[in-house]
């Protein structure tokens, strides 16, 4: 292992930016994305971090895509792989290539509200508290062992966008701190 960190992201990339700006930023060796023109790619390019795009295109089976993704990540032999706003489910072919080395940041207090619409689901359920969870990735959807959690109150009148942004403020601190702790204890 080279001790480095590979980040997986598909979207705006504010968690990726927070990792880059933290004291573990220099350990980030690559951004791997399924969305070649996403915001995270812009942050990576500005910071001089190599970008590998592995889109799930029409002709590619899920297994082939998971294999391609694993090949892209494996070349760095990273100590940790961090899913930070990566919006695709990682399949067994990928997960089993990196046992106990993949973590994900999820915008809810797991086991409550797993899945792609965690913030919307918390509001719909009338939850008064939600938050974020950093967990290891296993074969399930947001079911792996929990490493860290922090709660965030749901305020009356919160929209999905407002609440999600308040959760992300917490994630931007909790995720880099958790990565640092895991690297120190490995």
- Catalytic annotation, residues: 106
Is residue 166 part of the contact set for ligand GAR (CB under 6 A)? no
Q: Which region among 7-15, 43-51, 122-130, 148-156 touches ligand GAR (by CB under 6 A)?
A: 7-15
The one among 28, 69, 171, 182 contacting ligand GAR by CB under 6 A:
171
User: Torsion over CA of 18, 179, 173 and 87, rounded to 10 degrees?
Assistant: 60
Q: Are 40 and 85 in contact (CB under 8 A)?
A: yes
CA 27 – CA 99 distance, rounded (Å): 20
Pick one of 7, 8, 14, 44: the residue that binds ligand GAR (CB under 6 A): 14
Considering only residues 5, 7, 8, 15, which one is a binding residue for ligand GAR as defined by CB under 6 A?
A: 15
Distance CA 27, CA 104 (A): 17
Contact call for residue 12 and ligand GAR (CB under 6 A): yes
- Whether cis (ω within 30° of 0) applies to the bond prior to 79 is no
List helix spans (H) across 75-136.
Answer: 92-95, 118-124
Nearest to 82 by CA among 29, 37, 38: 29
**Angle value at C-alpha 117, between 115 and 118, nearest 5 degrees:** 75
Nearer to ligand GAR among residue 3 and residue 92 (C-beta): 92
Q: Is 149 in the site for ligand GAR (CB under 6 A)?
A: no
Check binding of 130 to ligand GAR (CB under 6 A): no
Per rule CB under 6 A, is residue 176 in the interface with ligand GAR?
A: no
Work out how close the CB of 61 gets to ligand GAR at its nearest, in angstroms, rounded to a whole number: 22
**Where in 104-123 is the site for ligand GAR (CB under 6 A)?**
105-107, 116, 118
The pairing of beta strand 129-136 with beta strand 51-53: unpaired
Residue in 44, 84, 152, 154 binding ligand GAR, rule: CB under 6 A: 84
Q: Write out the residues near ligand GAR by the rule CB under 6 A.
A: 11-16, 84-85, 87, 105-107, 116, 118, 167-168, 171
């Amino acid at each position: 292992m080279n001790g480095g960190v590979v980040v997986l992201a598909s979207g705006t990339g504010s968690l990726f930016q927070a990792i880059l700006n933290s004291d573990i930023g220099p350990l980030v060796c690559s951004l791997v994305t399924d969305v070649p023109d996403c915001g995270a790619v812009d942050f990576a390019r500005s910071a001089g971090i190599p970008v590998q795009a592995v889109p799930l295109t029409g002709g590619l089976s899920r297994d082939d895509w998971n294999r391609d993704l694993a090949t892209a990540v494996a070349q760095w032999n990273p100590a940790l792989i961090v899913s930070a706003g990566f919006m695709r489910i990682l399949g067994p072919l990928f997960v089993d290539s990196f046992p106990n080395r993949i973590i994900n940041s999820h915008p809810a207090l797991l086991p409550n509200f797993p899945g792609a619409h965690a913030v919307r689901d918390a509001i719909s359920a009338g939850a008064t508290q939600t938050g974020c969870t950093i967990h290891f990735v296993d074969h399930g959807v947001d079911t792996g062992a929990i490493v860290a959690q922090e709660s965030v109150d749901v305020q009356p009148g919160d929209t999905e966008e407002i609440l999600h942004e308040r959760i992300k403020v917490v994630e931007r601190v909790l995720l880099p701190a958790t990565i640092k702790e895991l690297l120190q204890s490995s």
